[in-house]
Structure formats: C-alpha cells, structure tokens
Structure 1
Amino acid sequence: MPSLQFSSLKLHWQILIALILAVVIGLSVGRDGGIFGLSFYAIFSFIGQLFLNALKMLIVPLIVSSIIVGMSGFGGSEHLGRLGAKTIGYYALTSLLAILIGLLFANLIQPGQVDGHPAEVFGLSADTATVQATLGDRDASDVVEVFLRLIPTNIIAAAAEGQMLGLIFFSLLYGFFLARLHEDQRHVQRQFFTGLFAIMLRMTDLIMRFAPIGVFALVAKTVAETGLAAFGPLALFFLTVTVALATHILLVLPLLLYVIGRVNPLAHYMAMSAALLTAFSTASSSATLPITLDCVEQNAGVSNRTSSFVLPLGATVNMDGTALYECVAVLFIAQAYGLELALGTQFIIVLLALLTSIGVAGIPAASLVAITVILSAVGLPLEGVGLILAVDRLLDMLRTAVNVFSDSCGAVIIARSEGEALAASYALKAPAIQN
C-alpha cells in the first residue's frame, strides 16, 4: 500500500517530500482557500502549532538532563576548561567567517543600489510606527542584557519564559558540582538524570514520527501567507542572502569539517538531514535542538559527554546564519538610501553583528531587533527595517538551517579533537589526513 511504502522511507526523505508538497499546496490554496467553511490556512496553522508545541515541550527537560548527565561525566575541571575553550573558539570563528562572507557578497552584488527612493522602487512603505510595534521597546541595551540573563534570579521562571542561557548556565553548574559529590549521593542523582535523559530521547523519537506532517503544515502555512509576490521587489536582496548562506553551509563549514575535524562532510550532511529540514520548517534552533541532539549522537556517533555541552550552548549563542543576515541587511538598507559606508563603519557593523547575534538570542524577532541595534549604532534610519519585513520569514527559515548545521559541525569537530571515534561513514579516504 502507498502509506506503507511512504512509512518505509527514511525520515529525511519523508520530510523532503512533505516540503515539496507544502510549497505546491500552499501556492494552490493561498490564504483564502478552504473546505466546508474552514480555511486551509487555519488547518495548517493548527497542525503546525501542535508540532511546534510538542518540540518546545521537550526543550527544558532535555537541555537540563542532557547537560547535567554530560557534565557529571567529566573527570576534572581541566577537561571542562579544555572543552569550553574549544567550543567558544569554534563559535567565534564560524560566526566571524559568516559575517565576513555576508559583507563580501553585500559589497559585490550591492542589492540595495537602485534609482529613486526605496519606497517607490521596492513598493514598500517603511512605516516607522509599524516597525516599532513589531520590534517593541528594544535598544542597544539588549546586548548588555545577555550577561544578566546568564544568571537568572529564578531558574523556574527562566525556564518558563524560555530564557535558555540562564537555564544552561545553571545546568552546567549543577552537573559540575554533581560530579564532586560523595559517591552515594552522586550515584543516585546521576541515575535519575540519566533516566530522565533516556525518557526525553524516546519522547523525541515519538514526536519525530509526526515530523513530516508538522513540517508540511508549517511550510504550507508560510507559503499560503506570503506566496511568491514578495520576491519581486526584493529578489536581489533575497538572492544575496541566499548565496552568502549557501557559501557558508556548502563551502566554509565543510572545509572546517574536512581540514580541522578530518571527517567526511558528505557523511555529515546525510547524518544531519532530518535536523536541517526540521530547522528550515520551524525557523527555530531551540525547537530543533532535540532532533539535532538525536542526529549528532545516533547518526554521527558523537558522545553525549560532548554533544550535551556543545549543542545546547550553540542553539543559544551560535548564530552564524543570523549574524550573516544582520550584516547583509544593514548594508542593503544603507545602499537603498544611497549611502556609501566607509571601511571603518563596515568594521563596526561586523563587530556589532558578532555581538548581537549572541546578545539578542532568545528574543522574539531576534534578527530584526539586532538589526535595529546596528542601525542605531551606525546612524542609519530605523525605518529601513521595513524594507526587509516582507521576506524576513522565508530567510529566517534558511538562516536557521545554517545555524543548526554550524552547531552540529562544532560538535563533530570538537568530538574528533577529543579523540572520539565517530560513525564509520565519517572515515576519510584521503590517506594524507588520516589519523
């Protein structure tokens, strides 16, 4: 039967088929299509929200149990310090490379250089009131807030509000001191969190069985709402961001895998396919974290000791795609207003994009908030954000996939540097770089 044949396909193929069907059906039914008085858009929204809620339901217990189990397995503080230094170094390197790639393509293609006023050429009115309503009362202080969010006053409230950075910091401390308890106390607590982590992985497997349906609903809703009309006036900007993101995920990150990690990049693409497609459809690194952990541990063979430290932290602070997007967007807005930014100003943009990609993580409309911070710092009008709102959602899906892939590459590279044996498919054929 067709249903049995479909269920026998690997998960990433099921999700890919769901994506293609979602685009076709979303374009066909549009925002107003329906049946028996019920709009398809409402159906897509309901199913997609159910899937997102199920994923988000796992985040807090999964992060807590995963980090605590991983941290409690460290032999000493020197191992933790080494792993932390490697993780931070990798995240800083890849984010900086992503921003420089965005800077390069924004200057080469110059998507914002047009004749006439941007409101006329792009067919969009940069309504300041609308933009401010979308962004809320956010300003440059959000960059500083990252340090305050690191140490929450109430860990339960932080978890309920989705403040993952504080939750991760607390879990790291808890796991670190758990490893230093007396044997009888350590054994009981470690057994509890190990069991909790195992349960969360089983729940993740259950929810992932419905991933093709959830992905279909989320993407169909987005396509039905936006269609393809928004691409016309902003096609060059969309192309610039897409090409820059593709360069980072198809060239830079595979090179890091090959040269530094000494692993087969093609094998890693296959191992992470389900997580990448889920990240694309949900546009949320945090919501994708359960699948990312599952793919990295089960498919790539990375130990929980490494993945439980690297991936939750990466889902919160490592935003390669977001940082790249911020840089291109600010340059696009400057070009649209006919401004030539000096090299010094572009350097400030690079630095601010690196900081804000970390500083505003976890805030709704995080990229738009970060862009306003950068625009204010370099003296550009905030209403310029209105020029990119039409395509922001679709580009958000693309840059989230890049964010997740970068996190997974970091886990694999760091695991290899720690001497871990990965899945057999990761072995390189080139003798010159084999261990």
Structure 2
Amino acid sequence: MKLHWQIAIALLAAMAVGGIVGDAPWFIKLADFIGTLFLNALRMLIVPLIVGAMIHAIISIGASNELGRIGWKTVLYFATTTLGAIVLGLVIINAVQPGIVDGQPAGARLGLDASADAVLEKVQGRDGRDFVGVVLRMVPPNLVQAAADNEMLALIFFSLLFGYFAARLPRELAEVQQRFWAGLYEVMIRITGWVMRFAPLGVFALVGKTVAQTGWSALHPLLVFFFAVLVALSIQAFIVLPLLVRLVGLDPLRHLKLSVPALLTAFSTSSSAATLPVTFGCAQRAGVSDRVSGFVLPLGATVNMNGTALYECAAALFIAQAYGLELSFISQFVVVTLALLTSVGVAGIPSASLVAIAVILSAVGLPMEGVGLILAVDRILDMCRTAVNVFGDLTGTVIIARLEGEIEAPASDVTR
C-alpha cells in the first residue's frame, strides 16, 4: 500500500480510537512513547541530512562547466521565486492566523504540552533581536557544539563555505569531495525514506493522543491551516509562476498544459527527484534543448523548492501562533532566511521537509512537539507542494530557454 494511504488510514484510525478511548492513562503513555520515538528519529536526521545535502548541492553547482551565463540566470530565478513564495506564505498565515481560535491561542485545544511562558522565554533568548546577534550565531566558535545546540544557521553557513571552496580544489581532490558528499547525501535520502515508513505509526500516536486529550475540537485550527496553505500554494502556482511566463512573452496556458504530466506525477509520488524523467519529457515538448534542461532540471530538483519553502515558513508561524507568540520582525526574518536556506538542503523525497521544519523550530526556540501538530495534514500538503516545486522547475527551464533564444514567442507546438 502506498505510504500516503497508510498515513490516511492511520489518521482516521487515530481520530476514531482517540475519541473512543479518551484520556485513558495507558493509551496516553503508549501514544506518547511512540510519538516521541518518531520525533527523535526526525531529530537524528537533521544535522547529517541538511549539511550533507547542502554541501553536495553547492559542490555540484560550483563544479559544473555550465556555471556561466545559464548558471547565474538559474540561480537568480531559483532565489527570487523561492523567496517570493516564502513571503507569500508569511503574508497569508499572518492574515488568516490559523493558530488563533476565537481570539485565543489554539495550543491548549491542540494538546500542546509546553506552556506559553516557557516557550516565550526560549524564543526571546534566541530570536536574534538585533542583526548583530544573528550574524554572531552564524559564525560559531565551536561547530560541533553548534550542532549539539541545534544552531542550524551556523551549520548552514559553514556548509555554504565548505561547498564553495571544495568545488575550487584541484580537480582530483574536488572529485573526491564530490563523491564523498554525494554518497552521504544518498545515504541520508535512504535513511530518511526508511524513517518515513514509520510515519503512519507516528501520525496515529501523535494525532490519537491529541484527540484523546482534547476531543474533536483540535481539528478546526488544523483545517484552517490546511486551507490557508492550499490557497498560498495555489496563488504561487496559478498566478505568480504564469505571470513570469507571460513576462518573457510565452503563453502561460500552453505552458501549464505541457506541464500536466509532470504535475500529476509529482502530486502522486511527492518526490521531485522521482518525477525528473517525466519533467525532462515536458521540457522537450516545450522546445527546451538538452543543454538547458540537463542543467536546470536536476539542479532544480535539489535546490528549487518554492512550495516546500512556503510550507516551512507557514508551519513555523502557525505553531508560534498556537503557543500565543507574536514573533518580532527579526524573528520572522530568521524564519524566512532559514526557510530559504533549508529548502535548498531538503532532499526531493516525500515528507523530507518535516526535517527542515524541525530545523526552523529549533532556530527560533519553538518545541519540537509542534512537528507532530502538523503531521495530520502534512501528507496531502506534501503532494501539493511537490507539484508546485516541479512546476517551478519547469517554469524556470522554459524562461531560461526563452532568454537563451531557444523558444520563439509565441511558442509553437513541438511534438517529440
């Protein structure tokens, strides 16, 4: 059975069992044990997955012979659209405020254990009230200690530096580094996939415990959050990206039609990497050369995560609202920055963004139990945001091909 069906069944079972059993001590203890074990497994992946994926991506970019005119256009497109998606998610969540119910934080209704005062104390100590504090945390005196303290901004900064300079080593040394980090990246993808096999158990335990303790009222803020994110993803996919296509003189509707096979594959598999063969076919039918698609699409499957970055930012702000916290401008800036950087380091596999969300929560001092809060709706949103990720890749490929003079405007149909 597909993982998303397993999670859906686990979700329904958790709501049923939690409602029937109620707050029976034995059930609460068992659900708490299983849920904590699953969250610990996610924590275990944070440092090696993010560091390994980012260094691998940066070395691949720097070592590529195509990193010239096309390379910088690609990087500029990825950075601009991803940052725009993050800001869009931030605006929507701040406007809708799904973590607030009847004027009160939804934390108690959702069964969050930590008190708002305790969380606020942590956030105030780690929100980087001034820019100087943010910069100082980026350059730690002890990298190992930074990893132990979940100072992921420091590890991301180090990974960027390491990847940049590793790509500029003499050829034989650079190849060794590239093979090592590619191997580590592949290992972490497989371990993450193995951990996510237990996601149905994690969903059952975390959601079952919440329903048992709080009843059905816990579902209301989750549904508001779900539809808020869905609206934001729809705006990115059906308004922002088509506008960019129109700006370079191409037909957005034709581009969308050509992209449908890749979008359906991405939606069903929740994997940008697994969708790559279909994505290449869509780019070819649009008239994009192998020179452009062969560089932009594999890179995009690794580093261009419009939907994922939007979701990470929205989830962090939703959890903060549920605790009754109003993040300062600097704190929201940290969230946006981390969402942008961690979206680069997230593997193109199902639900890997849960790891990135854990990174963001740690960075601003929010408890990890917040990850369990969104597991109930994560799978469907994972399918949607992966489709947005792939559509962003294809849009960038077509735009760069158009700027390179490969596609005429208006573009004629190409059958291949």
Normalised-by-shorter TM-score class = 0.5 to 0.7
Per the TM alignment, residue 362 of structure 1 is displaced from its structure 2 partner at its CA by 5.3
2:286 aligned with 1:273, yes or no?
no
Partner of residue 329, structure 2: 343
- Give the alignment partner of residue 282 of structure 1, picking from 256, 260, 269: 269
- Give the alignment partner of residue 77 of structure 2, picking from 82, 90, 101: 90
**C-alpha contact 2:104 2:324 (8 A) present in aligned 1:** no
Between stretches 355-364 and 411-420, larger displacement belongs to: 355-364
TM-score with structure 1 setting the length: 0.59
SS at match of 1:388: helix
**C-alpha contact 2:266 2:390 (8 A) present in aligned 1:** yes
- Give the alignment partner of residue 262 of structure 1, picking from 200, 225, 249: 249
Q: Which runs of 5+ in 2 are unaligned?
A: 14-59, 115-146, 167-174, 189-199, 208-215
SS at match of 1:385: helix
2:414 aligned with 1:408, yes or no?
no
2:318 aligned with 1:332, yes or no?
yes
SS at match of 1:380: coil
2:228 aligned with 1:240, yes or no?
yes
Q: Equivalents in 2 of 1:164, 1:80: separation in Å?
A: 27
2:398 aligned with 1:398, yes or no?
no
Partner of residue 292, structure 1: 279
Per the TM alignment, residue 367 of structure 1 is displaced from its structure 2 partner at its CA by 1.5
Per the TM alignment, residue 376 of structure 1 is displaced from its structure 2 partner at its CA by 2.2
Per the TM alignment, residue 282 of structure 1 is displaced from its structure 2 partner at its CA by 0.6
Per the TM alignment, residue 393 of structure 1 is displaced from its structure 2 partner at its CA by 1.4
Partner of residue 383, structure 1: 369
- Give the alignment partner of residue 100 of structure 1, picking from 78, 83, 87: 87
SS at match of 1:272: helix
Q: Equivalents in 2 of 1:279, 1:378: separation in Å?
A: 31
**C-alpha contact 2:86 2:339 (8 A) present in aligned 1:** yes
Q: Equivalents in 1 of 2:358, 2:83: separation in Å?
A: 20
Number of positions where the alignment pairs a residue of Structure 1 with one of Structure 2 = 296
- Give the alignment partner of residue 320 of structure 1, picking from 306, 317, 321: 306
Q: Equivalents in 1 of 2:348, 2:234: separation in Å?
A: 24
Q: Equivalents in 2 of 1:320, 1:164: separation in Å?
A: 25
Per the TM alignment, residue 159 of structure 1 is displaced from its structure 2 partner at its CA by 5.2
Would the alpha carbon gap of residues 233 and 350 (structure 1) be closer, same or farther in structure 2, given more than 3 Å must change? closer
**C-alpha contact 1:281 1:397 (8 A) present in aligned 2:** yes
Q: Equivalents in 1 of 2:357, 2:328: separation in Å?
A: 18
Q: Which amino acid aligns with 2:383?
A: M
Partner of residue 112, structure 1: 99
Per the TM alignment, residue 81 of structure 1 is displaced from its structure 2 partner at its CA by 1.1
Partner of residue 424, structure 1: 412
RMSD: 4.0
**C-alpha contact 1:125 1:386 (8 A) present in aligned 2:** no
Would the alpha carbon gap of residues 142 and 285 (structure 1) be closer, same or farther in structure 2, given more than 3 Å must change? farther
- The aligned runs of 1:43-58 (5 Å cut-off) are none
Q: Equivalents in 2 of 1:333, 1:257: separation in Å?
A: 34
Q: Which amino acid aligns with 1:236?
A: V
Q: Equivalents in 2 of 1:231, 1:122: separation in Å?
A: 8
Per the TM alignment, residue 409 of structure 1 is displaced from its structure 2 partner at its CA by 0.4
Would the alpha carbon gap of residues 393 and 146 (structure 1) be closer, same or farther in structure 2, given more than 3 Å must change? farther
Would the alpha carbon gap of residues 272 and 145 (structure 1) be closer, same or farther in structure 2, given more than 3 Å must change? farther
- The aligned runs of 1:296-311 (5 Å cut-off) are 296-297=283-284, 299-311=285-297
Deviation string, structure 1 residues 261-288 (Cα, Å, up to 9, x no partner): 2100100111010000000111111111
SS at match of 1:375: helix
Q: Equivalents in 1 of 2:176, 2:106: separation in Å?
A: 45
Between stretches 272-281 and 106-115, larger displacement belongs to: 106-115
Deviation string, structure 1 residues 115-159 (Cα, Å, up to 9, x no partner): 667454236778xxxxxxxxx997616534754567574656655
**C-alpha contact 1:245 1:399 (8 A) present in aligned 2:** yes
**C-alpha contact 1:241 1:325 (8 A) present in aligned 2:** yes
Per the TM alignment, residue 377 of structure 1 is displaced from its structure 2 partner at its CA by 2.1
Between stretches 91-100 and 80-89, larger displacement belongs to: 80-89
Partner of residue 130, structure 1: none
**C-alpha contact 1:360 1:370 (8 A) present in aligned 2:** yes
Partner of residue 35, structure 2: none
